[in-house]
Structure 1
Amino acid sequence: MFGMKAPGADARSPALAGIGLMLAGICLFSLGDAIGKYLVIDHSVGQLLFLRAIAALLFLSPSIWQYRAEFLRLERPRLQLARMVLSTVDVAAFFAATVYLPLADVITFYLAVPIFVTAGSAIFLREEVGWRRWSAVAVGFCGVLIALQPSPQSFTWPALIALCGSASFASLMLLTRTLRSAPDVVLASTQFMGSLAFGAVMAPFGWVTPSVGDAGMFLFGGVTSVCALLCVNRSLKLAPASVVVPYQYTMIIWAVLFGYAVFGDVPSIATLIGAAIIVTAGLYIFLRERQLGKVPEVSPPV
């Protein structure tokens, strides 16, 4: 009847909203990656982090002022500090690796994050991860390998930097899920505060005064990163990490689109086949989550 909700709809809605927000966040992150790779051609990683963080914190400043009391009573401050450090290591390692490695190789390491998070969510967060979801994540990762075809450069020091960054990103995801009761603006702004501190130390080395166009790119990159973080952080609040993080695999789709539009990269047949496998695995997890939402029916208290 009209106005009545289907059984399990309340349980299903937050997970589906979390998936949607993760998809939006990954799209924005991919756009930010393309902007960052363009900027590090002429500017250092430290300068990129510093100017991008300034733009992001200025954009967030009205919300920071509104929630200023929350910064004085941070939930579990040690975990917040660890999360800030992990975020800074993640973004610094990513852009540092892109200086020496092809973007596809770096993304290969980062698309292993769902494997790390699925395992970590089962071990540390005590989230239930069934064999079907494990299988879908594994199939998606096989699609990543087919699409990106890691080169022999995967075993160099820059590759270890990328691997360190991907491990930091996975740990960041788990901590975000643990601290999901903290306001979104606190989670997002503390991440950029870490980047600001690191960038302030490193930016003077090899500083290049940006042109007006590049300054606008730094500003746009900062705002894009804020929006991406807010989407991902809210996603991890609404749904289990093991459910939403596999949708990070859609990064390969955006990499193909932005790579062609910005850098003129034409995707290979292998990339298209791998992307199709990734999408199929993601859709399976999505449909599986909808199915699980219909199963449990909470009985009223006796």
Structure 2
Amino acid sequence: MSTRPSASHPRSAALWGVGFMLLGCFMFSVNDAMGKWLVGTYSVGQVLLLRSISALAILFFFLRRVELRSVLRPSRPGLHFARAAGSAMETGFFYWALSYLPLAAVMTFYLAGPIYVTALSALILKERVGWVRWSAVLVGFGGVLVALGPNLASAGWPVLIAVAGSFCYALLMISTRILAGAGETTLITWQTVMALLLGLVLAPAQWVTPSAFDLGFLFLLGIVAMAAHAAVNRSLLLAPASTVVPYQYTLIVWALLFGFVFFDETPRAATLVGAVVITASGVFIFLREQRLKAAVTATGAAGTGGAPDDIQIPPSRD
């Protein structure tokens, strides 16, 4: 996917890119709030099942434009299966945590996902991460611990579910990087089908026949999620990632607002402090990586070769 803005009107394209990123994050937040409202009545399995059906209905139109065989029989199918299974678990953990915890608390733990990615990139992908980013990772972990303490004491094990979900989210991002050449349609199709299968397994045990209104909401979950993905992807086509990605942390702002307005949730001070620390660490790590990548590009263009100690080396694609 290209991340370059329009060459003829770069400033205008960048502004549109920021706008689409903000729109995508808003729609993801709406999707999260809808999910929290629905899991108050319906099981996680039922929400997963009906959400996935509506998402697959939309995906059908995209699948008509690609070679279906390449989607159903990609290279490295084992890794695709593992990634899709992890994605289904991550989504299930997210909705499970939402049924017990405030929206802002769950989002705070999930925002730590990119920080985990930096640590896991060094451990799993053998990428080179220097002391500056490791320091930021440790600060981010500190933010998780700050948010974790009081919430764990009051809410118990659901907090651990949220943390487990955020870790699965990090693994999802790592596996997505490894399978980046597979194509977005293939990746989304596999993870949507796996979520559907998990929903089929879990839903019958606690099935509640939904009203027509709730059924519409359940199907709308998948539609809103797909629209949010489209907006974020459009954002990355219009503007550099370094310009738009930091705006993803507006998710915590919407989580705080929606939690307060729709669910009468007042976040703990520890949650707010943890969210600020995690956000600051995440933005710092991202901007640091972008600067180092730019340095590598400039070094390569100068023909000197080599990479600074703190450079992130891309994973190999076998």
The TM-score, its normalising length taken from structure 2, stands at 0.72
In structure 2, do the counterparts of structure 1 residues 249 and 89 end up closer, same or farther at CA, with 3 Å as the change threshold? Answer: same
Q: Which residue of 2 aligns with 1:14?
A: none
Q: Which residue of 1 aligns with 2:178?
A: 178
**Structure 1 residue 278, shift from structure 2 partner:** 4.5
Q: Which residue of 2 aligns with 1:241?
A: none
In structure 2, do the counterparts of structure 1 residues 149 and 245 end up closer, same or farther at CA, with 3 Å as the change threshold? Answer: farther
CA distance in 2, matches of 1:85, 1:77: 12
Q: Deviations over 1:220-264 (max 9, x none)?
A: 21022224456778999xxxxxxx999875543331122234324
1:128 aligns with 2:128: yes
In structure 2, do the counterparts of structure 1 residues 82 and 273 end up closer, same or farther at CA, with 3 Å as the change threshold? Answer: closer
Q: What are the ranges of 5 or more consecutive residues in structure 2 without an aligned counterpart?
A: 1-6, 8-16, 237-243, 305-318
> SS of the residue aligned with 2:181?
coil
Question: Is the contact between residue 55 and residue 192 of structure 2 (CA under 8 Å) also seen in structure 1?
Answer: yes
> SS of the residue aligned with 1:133?
helix
Task: Kindly report which structure 2 residues correspond to 1:38-53, keeping only aligned pairs within 5 A, or say none.
Answer: 38-53=37-52
**Structure 1 residue 75, shift from structure 2 partner:** 2.1
Q: CA-atom RMSD, angstroms?
A: 4.2
1:211 aligns with 2:211: yes
CA distance in 2, matches of 1:104, 1:235: 25
Question: Is the contact between residue 28 and residue 227 of structure 1 (CA under 8 Å) also seen in structure 2?
Answer: yes
**Structure 1 residue 26, shift from structure 2 partner:** 5.2
Q: Which runs of 4+ in 1 moved over 6 A?
A: 19-24, 231-236, 244-248
Task: Kindly report which structure 2 residues correspond to 1:132-281, keeping only aligned pairs within 5 A, or say none.
Answer: 132-143=132-143, 146=146, 150-153=150-153, 156-229=156-229, 250-267=250-267, 273-281=273-281
In structure 2, do the counterparts of structure 1 residues 27 and 126 end up closer, same or farther at CA, with 3 Å as the change threshold? Answer: farther
CA distance in 1, matches of 2:138, 2:231: 25
CA distance in 1, matches of 2:226, 2:193: 12
Aligned residues between the structures? 288
Q: Deviations over 1:11-63 (max 9, x none)?
A: xxxxxx8x999877655443322111100111111110010001111111111
Question: Is the contact between residue 111 and residue 141 of structure 1 (CA under 8 Å) also seen in structure 2?
Answer: no
CA distance in 1, matches of 2:267, 2:189: 36
CA distance in 1, matches of 2:279, 2:247: 9
> SS of the residue aligned with 2:180?
coil
CA distance in 2, matches of 1:141, 1:245: 21
1:57 aligns with 2:56: yes
CA distance in 2, matches of 1:282, 1:72: 35
CA distance in 1, matches of 2:201, 2:119: 35
Question: Is the contact between residue 43 and residue 203 of structure 2 (CA under 8 Å) also seen in structure 1?
Answer: yes
In structure 2, do the counterparts of structure 1 residues 80 and 60 end up closer, same or farther at CA, with 3 Å as the change threshold? Answer: same
State which drifts further: 108-117 or 49-58: 108-117
> SS of the residue aligned with 2:210?
coil
| AA aligned opposite 1:212 | A
Q: Which residue of 2 aligns with 1:239?
A: none
Question: Is the contact between residue 122 and residue 128 of structure 1 (CA under 8 Å) also seen in structure 2?
Answer: yes
Question: Is the contact between residue 250 and residue 278 of structure 1 (CA under 8 Å) also seen in structure 2?
Answer: no
Q: Which residue of 1 aligns with 2:118?
A: 118
CA distance in 2, matches of 1:171, 1:301: 35
**Structure 1 residue 87, shift from structure 2 partner:** 1.0
The TM-score, its normalising length taken from structure 1, stands at 0.76
State which drifts further: 130-139 or 270-279: 270-279
**Structure 1 residue 218, shift from structure 2 partner:** 1.6
**Structure 1 residue 122, shift from structure 2 partner:** 1.2
1:36 aligns with 2:35: yes
**Structure 1 residue 180, shift from structure 2 partner:** 0.3
CA distance in 1, matches of 2:202, 2:86: 17
**Structure 1 residue 76, shift from structure 2 partner:** 0.7
Question: Is the contact between residue 111 and residue 279 of structure 2 (CA under 8 Å) also seen in structure 1?
Answer: no
CA distance in 1, matches of 2:235, 2:249: 15
Q: What are the ranges of 5 or more consecutive residues in structure 1 without an aligned counterpart?
A: 6-16, 237-243
CA distance in 1, matches of 2:19, 2:281: 16
Question: Is the contact between residue 36 and residue 95 of structure 1 (CA under 8 Å) also seen in structure 2?
Answer: yes
Q: Which residue of 2 aligns with 1:9?
A: none
Q: Which residue of 1 aligns with 2:87?
A: 87
Q: Which residue of 1 aligns with 2:241?
A: none
Question: Is the contact between residue 114 and residue 245 of structure 1 (CA under 8 Å) also seen in structure 2?
Answer: no
Q: Percent identity?
A: 48
CA distance in 1, matches of 2:285, 2:221: 31
> SS of the residue aligned with 1:204?
helix
State which drifts further: 42-51 or 289-298: 289-298
Question: Is the contact between residue 184 and residue 230 of structure 1 (CA under 8 Å) also seen in structure 2?
Answer: no
